[in-house]
Amino acid sequence: MSIFTFVNPLPTLPPIKNVILAITGGIAAYKSAFFARSLVKAGFDVRVIMTEGAQAFITPLTLQALTGNEVHTQLLDERAEAGMGHIELAKWADLIVIAPASANTLARLAMGMADDLLATVCLATTAPVMVAPAMNQQMWAHPAVQLNVQTLADMDYLMIAPASGEQACGDVGEGRLPEPEVLLDHVLTLQAERTVPQSLAGKKVTITAGPTVEAIDPVRYLSNHSTGKMGFALARACRDAGAEVTIIAGGKITLPTPLGATRVDVLSANDMLQAAIASAEAGCEVFIATAAVADYRTKDAAPQKIKKTQEAMTLELVKNPDILATISHDYPDIFMVGFAAETQDVEKYARGKLASKNLDMIACNDVSRSDIGFASDDNAMEVFFAEHYQQAPVPLDKASKDKIAEQLVALVGKQLA
C-alpha cells in the first residue's frame, strides 16, 4: 500500500473538534492562511503553531485574526506555559496538521527532536498527525527527505502527497503544497471515518456530473450552465459513507477530484455514455446521474472552423442517447438514481421519469427558484421512489449541496439495506 494512502487506525474515536494547524518555514505558508480559514469555516476550533521559519513568511497576527485564537510560537515562554503550555496543547488537539512541512521539520520529527514547540507537541500528543510536505522538487527527491517521509509513515504519521507543477522558485516538479480545499478534504475524510454511518460500505458507485459539450466545429460548442457541484458533493458523500466512487465529469469542470474517487473526464454525451457503460461493466452497483446531458448534438460537427459568410445559418441537431435510461435498461441490477430539474408540475414529471427511465429513486428540484440549483451552492429537493419500495416522497429543505448530498446518500443506503 502507498504510504500516502492512509487508513484511520482508530475508527471508533470521537469526532474531531480541536485542530492544531502547524506552519513551518516555506513559501507555501501563505496557503496555510486560506487553509486555516477553511478549517474554521468547517466548524473546527483551530489553534496555530508557527515555527520561527514560518514567521519569516507570514505573521502570527494573520493567523490569530483568522482563527480567533492566540498563535503559539515558543516552547519555553513563561507567558505561554502559564496559559496553554506544550503538554496542554498536545492534550487539547484531536488532530494536528502540519502544512506546509519543510524538509527540516520532516527530519526533526523523524529524529524525535524536542527542542521547539512543534516537535515537542508532536511527541507529547496521542492525536493523529497529518503531514503535508512542501519544498523545492530537487529537495523533495533527495533520498534523505524520502527516508524521513518513510520513517514518519512507519510511525503512523498521516502523510499527504505533495502536488506537482510550477513551483514558487521557478522549478517544475513534485513538491507543491496541495491547495487548501484538498488539505481540507483530507481532514474531512478522516472526520467522516469517525462520524458518518458506513451505509454504502464497499459499494461501487458511479456518478455523472456537470454539463456535456457538443462540438459545432473545432472551436465552438453547445453546452449549458451546469457546474457539477451537486455531483461532486455526492461523490464526497458516497465516499464518506464507505463507497468506492467513480465520477464521470462532463464539460470542463475544474472542481478538485474528491480524495479517493476515480475521475473520468469526458466532453460529449456519447463519450459520457461510453464511460458509463465501462463503469457498469466494471461492476457498478449504484448509478447516480446528476449530469445535465445536452438533449441534442450537432448532426455532424464541422471539421474546420465555420466562416461567417452567410447571413443566417441552420444547425441540424440530432437527439443524444439517454445515458440514465440506457444503463438502467441494459444493467437492471444497478440501483439507479436520477435527477430532474423542472420549472413546473415537479411531482408529475418526476413520477413520469421514475417510470419511463425505470429508476429506483429520483431527486427533483424546482429550477424556477433562483436561490437554489444550477450554479448555487444550495439546493432543495423532493425525492420520489419506485413503487415497490413503498416509501413516501421525502422533502429535503434548502441546504448546502454537501448537506443535501449526505441526505441523498442516506436515502440510497436505506433502500439498499
CB of 322 to ligand C5P, least distance (A): 4
**Which has the closest alpha carbon to 90: 117, 51, 112, 60?**
117
> Closer to ligand C5P at the Cβ: 264 or 269?
269
Three cell numbers, residue 16: 474531531
Q: Judge whether 364 counts as a catalytic residue.
A: no
Query: What single-letter amino acid sits at 284?
Result: C
**Contact stretch for ligand C5P (CB under 6 A) within 109-117, 165-173, 334-342, 382-390:** 334-342
Choose, by CB under 6 A, the member of 205, 323, 354, 411 that binds ligand C5P.
Answer: 323
Q: Which of 122, 169, 238, 284 is catalytic?
A: 169
Q: Are 101 and 133 in contact (CB under 8 A)?
A: yes
> Closer to ligand C5P at the Cβ: 104 or 270?
270
Q: Are 383 and 396 in contact (CB under 8 A)?
A: yes
Task: Specify the length of the chain in residues.
Answer: 417
> Closer to ligand C5P at the Cβ: 206 or 376?
206
> Closer to ligand C5P at the Cβ: 182 or 337?
337
Instruction: Report the alpha-carbon distance of residue 343 to residue 352 in Å, rounded.
Output: 15
In the stretch 256-295, what mask flags binding to ligand C5P with x, by CB under 6 A?
-------------x-------------------xxx-x--
Phi, psi of 20 (to 5 degrees): -95, 120
In the stretch 292-311, what mask flags binding to ligand C5P with x, by CB under 6 A?
-x------------------
CB of 376 to ligand C5P, least distance (A): 18
Choose, by CB under 6 A, the member of 70, 265, 322, 366 that binds ligand C5P.
Answer: 322
Three cell numbers, residue 243: 463507497
In the stretch 208-227, what mask flags binding to ligand C5P with x, by CB under 6 A?
x-------------------
> Closer to ligand C5P at the Cβ: 98 or 363?
363
Instruction: Report the alpha-carbon distance of residue 325 to residue 314 in Å, rounded.
Output: 30
Three cell numbers, residue 356: 419511463
Instruction: Report the alpha-carbon distance of residue 233 to residue 202 in Å, rounded.
Output: 19
CA-to-CA dists, residue 386 to 293, 327, 352, angstroms: 23, 17, 11
**Which has the closest alpha carbon to 99: 164, 174, 24?**
24
CB of 316 to ligand C5P, least distance (A): 18
> Closer to ligand C5P at the Cβ: 25 or 210?
210
Q: How far is CA 214 from the centre of its chain?
A: 27
Question: Does 383 help bind ligand C5P (rule: CB under 6 A)?
Answer: no
Element (H, E) at 190: helix 180-195
Beta-bridged to residue 91, according to DSSP, are none
Residue 273 DSSP one-character state: H
Choose, by CB under 6 A, the member of 20, 152, 182, 324 that binds ligand C5P.
Answer: 324
Neighbours of 151 (CB within 10 A): 16
**Contact stretch for ligand C5P (CB under 6 A) within 50-58, 170-178, 318-326, 379-387:** 318-326
In the stretch 335-374, what mask flags binding to ligand C5P with x, by CB under 6 A?
---xxx------------x---------------------
**Contact stretch for ligand C5P (CB under 6 A) within 3-11, 192-200, 237-245, 332-340:** 332-340
The residue assigned the cell 465520477 is: 247
Instruction: Report the alpha-carbon distance of residue 53 to residue 88 in Å, rounded.
Output: 23
> Closer to ligand C5P at the Cβ: 21 or 323?
323
Residues that bind ligand C5P (CB under 6 A): 208, 269, 289-291, 293, 320, 322-324, 338-340, 353
Active-site residue set? 169
